[in-house]
Amino acid sequence: MPFRIGLIGAGANTRSMHIPGFRKCAGVEITGVANRSRESSQRIADEFGVAQVFDSPEALCASTDVDAVCIGTWPYKHREYTIMALEAGKHVLCEARMAMDLAEAEDMLAASERHPELVAQLVPAPFDFNLGPTITRLIDEGALGDILEVTVNVLNGTGLDKNVPLHWRQRADYSGKNVMTFGIFTEVIHRWLGDHADVMASGDIVISERPDAESGKPGPVTVPDTYVVTGHLKRGSRITYHFSSLAAGANSNGVTLFGSKATLRWKMGDTAVLQPHGGEAAPIQADPGTDRGWKVEEDFVASVREGAPVRLTNFVDGVRYMRVIDAAHTSYVEGRVVAV
């Protein structure tokens, strides 16, 4: 009998990554879809050959023709649909970011723990699939010495044009306390360096309104378009994040690890160099057999079929990064250092 997937929400990532990924898995069928409207659901069904269109996520979760649910909505529905699916006996693959805030993420984790027989997986941050395991090994082996400081810069000018329509990531009612790619990079940092100890955040909403894509009328921007978070990791290192959609022309995007013996510079595109103090920078090559590539759907199916533990990314690790997002938001609002 095939393993049957139902789609709740079918945005860009679902269409470009999840549907093709599931189709590559032997014995897997996408049997149903429930998007924001029946019309949009029908378009997805017609385009991708999905057998059933459901009028609601509730109907999809109740269907005996669905074994697992892929939740591709914006964060504002992740908690509701994840818990609904788990309570209905469905395995869950949920899009990142995990939830609107820490409380919702903890509710999702609690629901998964009530159903240990079901797989609950988050779509992982994919940026370091190639070099991440090698970087972690170098850190653990002491190639950098003590990690003294970490910087994360994600700067671009995508938000400079005021006429670009309001995106869901610029709306707190859809994205919650998530800001730009802060959660994604927090997840990467956790893989390499472990948990955060404290954070202090500051941000600005520079362009305060944009045209709504549906109505064409101005809508308020309620998520910062420039955001700086600094603090400490539990290992003692200072860490500073800088995110901006207003900083066009930046050429230093990526993560830099400043160690007592060497500096490691990782860039978007998953390339990196290691430079010993007083020496030349040398490219880092991935250790043999560690480059994962995109295997999100394959991993999810394997966890269901074989009982393989979820590694990228389980709900426990999702709560870990949501804890940082939540603490930074509290700091942003209250103007103080917040323990994580």
45-65 per-position pLDDT tens digit? 999 999 999 999 999 999 999
pLDDT score, position 251: 87
- Judge if 244 and 300 occupy the same domain: no
Indicate whether 6 pLDDT > 90.
yes
> Residue 13: which pLDDT band, with cuts at 50, 70 and 90?
very high
Domain that holds residue 98: 3-123+295-308
The mean pLDDT of 241-261, rounded to a whole number, is: 96
The mean pLDDT of 122-144, rounded to a whole number, is: 98
Within-domain flag for 335: no
Q: Rounded to the nearest 10 degrees, what angle do helices 132-140 and 182-193 cross at?
A: 40
- Judge if 142 and 288 occupy the same domain: yes
141 torsion bin: left (phi>0), alpha (psi -120 to 50), beta (else): alpha
pLDDT score, position 216: 86
CA distance 177 to 70: 23
- Judge if 63 and 11 occupy the same domain: yes
- Judge if 172 and 149 occupy the same domain: yes
Structural domains counted in the chain: 2
Those residues whose C-beta lies under 8 Å from the C-beta of residue 28, and which sit 6 or more positions away, are: 2, 3, 4, 5, 22, 301
- Judge if 160 and 276 occupy the same domain: yes
CA distance 190 to 328: 16
The model's pLDDT over 18-47, given as tens digits with 9 standing for 90+, comes to 999 999 999 999 999 999 999 999 999 999
Those residues whose C-beta lies under 8 Å from the C-beta of residue 62, and which sit 6 or more positions away, are: 88
Within-domain flag for 314: no
Q: 101 near 77, Cβ under 8 Å? A: no
Q: What is the CATH number of the domain that holds 219?
A: 3.30.360.10
What are the beta bridge partners of residue 339? 198
pLDDT score, position 218: 95
Within-domain flag for 233: yes
- Judge if 211 and 73 occupy the same domain: no
Within-domain flag for 19: yes
**DSSP per residue over 133-202, as a string?**
HHHHHHHHTTTT-SEEEEEEEEE--TT--TTSPPPGGG-HHHHTT--TTHHHHHHHHHHHH--EEEEEEE
Percentage of the chain exceeding pLDDT 70:
100
CA distance 238 to 151: 8
Indicate whether 11 pLDDT > 90.
no
Those residues whose C-beta lies under 8 Å from the C-beta of residue 292, and which sit 6 or more positions away, are: 129, 130, 312
CA distance 78 to 176: 11
Mean pLDDT of the chain: 97
Indicate whether 215 pLDDT > 90.
no
Q: 70 near 11, Cβ under 8 Å? A: no
> Residue 282: which pLDDT band, with cuts at 50, 70 and 90?
very high
Measured in residues, the chain has a length of 340
- Judge if 161 and 218 occupy the same domain: yes
- Judge if 59 and 189 occupy the same domain: no
- Judge if 151 and 238 occupy the same domain: yes
- Judge if 301 and 211 occupy the same domain: no
Q: What is the CATH number of the domain that holds 71?
A: 3.40.50.720
The mean pLDDT of 263-273, rounded to a whole number, is: 97
CA distance 143 to 125: 25
The model's pLDDT over 160-207, given as tens digits with 9 standing for 90+, comes to 999 999 999 999 999 999 999 999 999 999 999 999 999 999 999 999
Within-domain flag for 332: no
What is the maximum span of the chain, computed from C-alpha positions, in angstroms? 64
Structure tokens at 77: 């529905």
Within-domain flag for 323: no
pLDDT score, position 252: 85
Within-domain flag for 251: yes
The one-letter amino acid at 108: M
pLDDT score, position 292: 83
- Judge if 136 and 109 occupy the same domain: no
Within-domain flag for 246: yes
- Judge if 103 and 147 occupy the same domain: no
Q: What angle do CA 212, 218, 224 make, to 5 degrees?
A: 80
